[in-house]
Structure 1
Amino acid sequence: MTAIDTLTAASPPDDAGADTADRYDWQALTAAVDALSMILGAKRAGRSIEDVLVVCEYHEDYVLCDGDSVLLVSVKHRESGAGSWTFAPLFTDGGLAHLFLRWCALSEDSRCRLVTNVGLRNGEPARLSQICERLRTAGPGPRTFEESEMIRSACARILDAIPADKVVPEWAARLPAGGRWSQVFEDAVTRFLGILSFDCDRVSRHHLPAAAAAMYMRPVLQELGIDDSLADAAWETVSGLFRERMRGRTTPAREAMEIRIRSLADLTPEARECHRAEDRAIAGEDILRALAIARDVAILPVPRGRSMAPTRLAIKLVNAGCHDTTVHAAEAAARQWREYELDMNLQPGTAQDLARLKVRTLLAVSDLHERCAEGAEQADYGPVMWRMMRDVVREPRLQDGGGLFVDDELILGLVCDLTSECKVWFSDYFDIDAGRDAFPNRLEGETVTS
């Protein structure tokens, strides 16, 4: 019996860990979508993108800031099988009660929004959204009977959903006869509903990762004048920022340095809180910088779920348009050559033969590269060059290694090793370090190796 047979002999009672991780990932990707929407809106309106700021997991799931404007966002995924939102869960599972508390804590100086992937059920939930919109546009003044009833229903739901220790004394002071809350509380809830909005048409967690590049990144790249064929790579780079910030992380090296500096500094509580918010913030400039990396490096995306190490050889072949199989074959061939070269270096009198073979191989490959680059109709001529390379390495002038015994597989391994040393290219030159930073799914903290 295999290990898999043992594990599958009984079904696990739940899949909560993977499900929870996927929901948090959807939250991060949804924040990235909203940030791109803000950048697109600012660009089209002629406003500065520098005013765009997203703060993750701070007060709320994320906060959208545009200049002095602050929007608290509660983002909640709901499975399609659960149906549309009913009234009571909006204030608990939907986070409206928590939004109300955070809005009060910020001195009512913000707007609030519930972002979700399913709609509001007809009846009370749909009327709540409609009345919020009416309150938002009508402002203070006499309320209709329907509005007053909805405000009282919201008061009851919020009061039931928030912890007792979070109830402000003024909300329960001087209660009217038979009442559960004061006029102060009802007035606050009325103002809250007047700044609350609902966004219920988001792509679900099952489809967003596959759809995001085309739906959200491509329009931004087109507006910024960046080649939209890079949408997948740009989306991977930008969404990676939000995945980090949702965990309160910057880049590993910078984070370690800043933690050490802060531990040595005698910071006030206010300064520490400011640093905490900064660790979770992504500015419009950060996103533009990530897009610039995708544009300048023009590296092709690596499908999510593949954990290929970002070696120089892998980065250069992926950037040139080669597929996974070619990259893995090239890595294997390079390892085979290195092992052979190590053995030969231990033999007396082989150093000059190895040096001559490398020079002859470089000359042959340089001729091939010139032909491929000159006749290429597109930038990604790597696959064509790879196929033609298989004929070049069979040439007798390369396999005549003097005192060496080499075949076409070893010569191909030599070419791959020279590629990892940046002496051979399968594409036009690009910045390898920037390519490493843009390479999706790289192992955290891993350096580029040969």
Structure 2
Amino acid sequence: MQGRSGGTSMVDAAGTGVGAEGVGTPSEPGVLNGSAPALFELAPDEDSGAETLGRYRYQAEVAARDCLAMLTQDAIDFVVCEWHEDFVVAWTDGSVELVSVKHREGTRGPWTLTELCKDGGLTHLFDRWCACECAANVRLRLATNAALKPGKDNAGTLARMCGPEPELTAGLTAMAEAVARQILKVRWKQPYPNVPDTPEVRRLADIQVPAGFVEKVVRFLAVLEISCDPPQREHITDVNIQRLLVPAVERLQLAHVDLEDTYRAIVDRIERANRDESDRSQLAVYIADPSRVRHSTRMQQRIGRRRITREMVRQEVAYTTVQLPTFPRGQAPVVAPGGAKLNRKLRRGLVPSDEAAFAERLRSAWYTTWSERRSGLAGDESDLLNLSIDVLEMAFECRRHARAQAADGSGFGITMNDLLAERLKVDALPTPPPFQLNNLHLRGLAYQLCDECLYFFSEPFDADEEAS
């Protein structure tokens, strides 16, 4: 997937509503008051996502495709499970993509242009796009498992005319007019607040198209992608595991991953976010313009309950019970650079020389593991920082207990080292590590942090001066 281009703000500094077509002023920044139009309260009839558990599951599995992409791509920031859309993809460049998922049974054949506008979610996406003020940073995707009917004036041709760089441009205005009339016809039976309500007529050609509406549809098509990539319901699980999860596991160099359990856990997590019905307002307008939500704790919590981040996906990785070796098999052990300051600190803390030598081996084990398991993405540094903070907190706790047990003026390094071996466990971490580690790897990281002079096994001293 390609990143999206950034866009302009959709509201003024006061946080007023999101369009001239009927969106009200919030009673507090980012929160709509009771006079807001039905858009923010209406549970759509045709797209509530509650018809069957199978449909819920399929929508979650389509969303899982973007969530799995986060494991190996920096372009996606997070995914939010929506009420009106099936999900919203927030890109790191500030753009957002509203995604509507439409599963179609094979017995119904390919989508026609009329069906795509009525039952296929096209009018629905147009209405949501209008609610977002047609902002330049908002993109749209209609994801379906079904084919599109070919023909000059049908759905297959429409798909080729969509996007900022369409494959086909000849006849675009005529296609936009046909789509505009279909959208206006759908509005007669379904209450889309951002679609003009025109008088009902018998013939499609007799619909009175409002001035400027066709041009607006042309702009709509320029930000729309119609994707037939999602597999059929009975195949999507296997396809997602083999084409998305397996390559991600290999890229991240994770070992002993239970693929089926991991995938099931990720989809379950998405389903739980998708079923959080405590708030039914449309969130895309807030995600597209974060200034609307920045000062509203309530709206932040609403979006937070539905947000799926890269870290959340990684936390769902399930491992088999096979113990991870301290050094990778089939490779010569790598000696970590540095180590002199660690040795001086352990010696000052009166840690025996054999335990100090073992500490150096564990530091090399951590160095090798981190070098192989890091993904190479920008998130590596934050992953390492979060893990280091957890390990440092445990090291400081062990030092406090060691000091408390030592007599005044006596060394406490030996006791502190014993407490590290006893308490620094993967299971004791407040958050799961970014990839599979064993307890010895954590101790190796602790010794590395000591070598970086982030803590001591004695009272602090100048390790560089002692070396001279």
Q: TM-score, normalised by structure 2?
A: 0.49
Counterpart selection for 1:284 from 296, 306, 310: 310
Q: Structure 1 170/236 Cα, relative in aligned 2: closer, same or farther at 3 Å?
A: closer
Q: What aligned pairs does 1:65-80 form with structure 2 within 5 A after superposition?
A: 65-67=90-92, 68-80=94-106
Q: Which residue matches 1:212?
A: 240
Judge conservation of contact 2:256–2:322 (CA < 8 Å) in 1: no
| Deviation by residue 1:224-251 (Cα, 9 ceiling, x = unmatched) | 111275322221221221111111189x
Letter of the aligned partner of 1:236 in structure 2? R
Q: What aligned pairs does 1:323-342 form with structure 2 within 5 A after superposition?
A: none
Structure 1 residue 432: Cα displacement:
10
Judge conservation of contact 2:162–2:226 (CA < 8 Å) in 1: no
Tell me whether 1:98 sits opposite 2:128 in the alignment. no
| Deviation by residue 1:139-159 (Cα, 9 ceiling, x = unmatched) | 9xxx74x11110100001111
| Deviation by residue 1:9-68 (Cα, 9 ceiling, x = unmatched) | xxxxxxxx99821111111111011221243332xxxx6xxx521111244111111121
Q: Structure 1 432/162 Cα, relative in aligned 2: closer, same or farther at 3 Å?
A: farther
Structure 1 residue 287: Cα displacement:
1.1
Structure 1 residue 162: Cα displacement:
2.8
- 1:57 is paired with a residue whose SS is coil
Q: Which residue matches 2:55?
A: 23
- 1:99 is paired with a residue whose SS is helix
Q: State the structure with more CA Rg.
A: 1
Between structures 1 and 2, the one with greater helix share: 1
How far apart are the structure 2 equivalents of 1:89 and 1:169? 18
- 1:235 is paired with a residue whose SS is helix
Tell me whether 1:160 sits opposite 2:185 in the alignment. yes
Structure 1 residue 169: Cα displacement:
8.6
Structure 1 residue 201: Cα displacement:
2.5
How far apart are the structure 2 equivalents of 1:152 and 1:279? 40
Counterpart selection for 1:237 from 265, 275, 293: 265
Q: What aligned pairs does 1:200-349 form with structure 2 within 5 A after superposition?
A: 200-227=228-255, 229-248=257-276, 271-291=297-317, 294=318, 298-299=319-320, 319=321
Indicate the larger mover: 156-165 or 184-193.
156-165
Structure 1 residue 431: Cα displacement:
4.2
Structure 1 residue 200: Cα displacement:
0.5
**RMSD (Å), alpha carbons:** 3.7
Tell me whether 1:35 sits opposite 2:70 in the alignment. no
- 2:89 is paired with a residue whose SS is strand
- Gap runs ≥5 in structure 1: 1-16, 251-266, 300-318, 322-428, 437-450
Q: TM-score, normalised by structure 1?
A: 0.51
| Deviation by residue 1:181-206 (Cα, 9 ceiling, x = unmatched) | 22322221110011111110311111
Letter of the aligned partner of 1:27 in structure 2? Q
Q: Which residue matches 2:87?
A: 62
Q: Which residue matches 2:464?
A: none
Letter of the aligned partner of 2:67 in structure 1? A
| Deviation by residue 1:154-185 (Cα, 9 ceiling, x = unmatched) | 00111112357545597869xxx976122322
What's the % identity of the aligned pairs? 30
Q: Structure 1 222/152 Cα, relative in aligned 2: closer, same or farther at 3 Å?
A: same
- 1:72 is paired with a residue whose SS is strand
Structure 1 residue 74: Cα displacement:
0.6
Structure 1 residue 100: Cα displacement:
0.4
How far apart are the structure 2 equivalents of 1:180 and 1:211? 46
Letter of the aligned partner of 1:215 in structure 2? R
How far apart are the structure 1 equivalents of 2:89 and 2:51? 26
Q: Structure 1 165/214 Cα, relative in aligned 2: closer, same or farther at 3 Å?
A: closer
Q: Which residue matches 1:129?
A: 159
Letter of the aligned partner of 1:186 in structure 2? V
- 2:120 is paired with a residue whose SS is coil
How far apart are the structure 1 equivalents of 2:98 and 2:234? 25
- 1:40 is paired with a residue whose SS is coil
Counterpart selection for 1:147 from 158, 172, 187: 172
Counterpart selection for 1:108 from 131, 134, 152: 134
